[in-house]
Every structure is written in C-alpha cells, then in structure tokens.
Amino acid sequence: MVEGLVMPEYLAFNEADRAAVYRVMGARRDVRRGFIDRPLPDDVLQRLLAAAHSAPSVGLMQPSRFIVIRDLAIRTAVHQIFTEANQKAAETYQGEQREQYDTLKLEGILEAPQSLCVVCDTQNKRGHKLGRHTMPETAAYSTVCAIQNLWLAARTEGIGVGWVSILDPVRLRTLLHIPDHILLIAYLCLGFVDHFAAEPELERAGWEKRVPVQTAVCYDLYNEDNKS
C-alpha cells in the first residue's frame, strides 16, 4: 500500500492478503502430469466457474461459456485429435529440436478426470457493443481474462490446469457441437494433482527460458532498443 494513503476498510487488503495474491500468481503452472483420478466435487468446480465468470469483460458482456467434459469417450476422442495434430506439429521440427519435442509432455487429456472447453459468444447482446465498435476482438480477450481467473483460483484449491492448444479446432468444434458463431478459445485439462513443479515444465525441459520483465517494458513509446 502507498505510504500515507488510507483506504476504506472494505477496500483494504493487509500485507498477508497481498502476499498471497502475488504468491499464487508466481506458483501458477501449466500442468500436464501428476493428475489424481478424482473428479472435482461440484462445489469446488462451481467456485472455479464463478471465479471465471467474475472476470472483467468488455461492456460487462460476460461472453464466456464453459463446457465441462467428464465423459471418457469424449475425452478419448479429443485425445485422438491431439495425437494427430501433435504428429503434424512434430514434423515442423528437425534434428535435436525434433528429438526434444518428442520428449515433451504436452497434455493430460486422459489423465485429468475432467476437461473444460472455454468458448466465447462474440455475438452476445449483453453490453450493447460498448467497447467493441473499434475493437470487437475484446470479447475474446474477456474470455481469456476469465481463464486466468479460473487458473489462479484453481491453484489455490490445489487443482492443476493445463491448456491444450495442439488440437484441430474444426474437429473439436464438430465433436463438442460448438455452433459456428461461437469462438473456440481454450481446451483445459483440470484436476487435483500430486504436486506443482517449482518452475515451468518447458523451462525445466530446456525448451525455453523466461526472461526478466525489464525486457518487455517500454515507456511512452514502443522501442525495441529502449527498454529498462
């Protein structure tokens, strides 16, 4: 809190509250392994969905829709879509990078006891198009905010979330009966896990490293050479 600034009691968070928020953001992971074969209790699932639903959205349109998938037959079909898409993706790499790619664990579709497909109703009339006249894509951005809310809430509950993007969206749409006017945003694996890694899996595997925030910050104008 800024020194000397007095916040109304109903708005104030103490130091422990603030530390917990930053801690959960730092401890969030994209989880692909270690799922426990235990479906989420309905009350826990509803808390996560409520957290997602409370995310900021342009014009208060709340465009996000959530498809909870527990049926093993459906998840098996999704896994097949992943397998074929992953093979095509693997073929874009060569040499040592291809070998490394083949070792990566990139999904937990069958290991997690439930999945969550998050979509966006971009034609939703709520909000009366406020904020979307010049940037209609903000509807999709709103749904991404909802996913982040759910991801952070899940971490506090000991629940792992893994985002699977190696999927043929046309086939996934057909499988899940998603109408053409609904935008597919994310397919998430969701479940309790036996541990959370201390660092991102791709970093631990040597695929990529995170960079300091200073490398991503400019002031006043965008400048590749003037970040601090």
Query: How does pLDDT run along the chain (228 residues), one tens digit per residue?
Result: 556 666 677 677 889 999 999 999 999 999 999 999 999 999 999 999 999 999 999 999 999 999 999 999 999 999 999 999 999 999 999 999 999 999 999 999 999 999 999 999 999 999 999 989 999 999 999 999 999 999 999 999 999 999 999 999 999 999 999 999 999 999 999 999 999 999 999 999 999 999 999 999 999 999 887 544
* pTM score of the predicted model: 0.92
8 A C-beta contact, residue 119 and residue 67: yes
> What's the pLDDT at 2?
59
CATH of domain 39-194: 3.40.109.10
CA angle 61, 166, 30 (to 5 degrees): 70
Strand-pair category, 182-192 with 159-164: antiparallel
What's the confidence (pLDDT) of residue 228? 43
Residue 208 neighbours by CB distance under 10 Å = 9
Q: Name every residue whose Cβ is closer than 8 Å to that of residue 117 and which is 6 or more positions away in sequence.
A: 66, 67, 69, 172, 176, 178, 184, 186, 187, 188
pLDDT at position 60 is 95
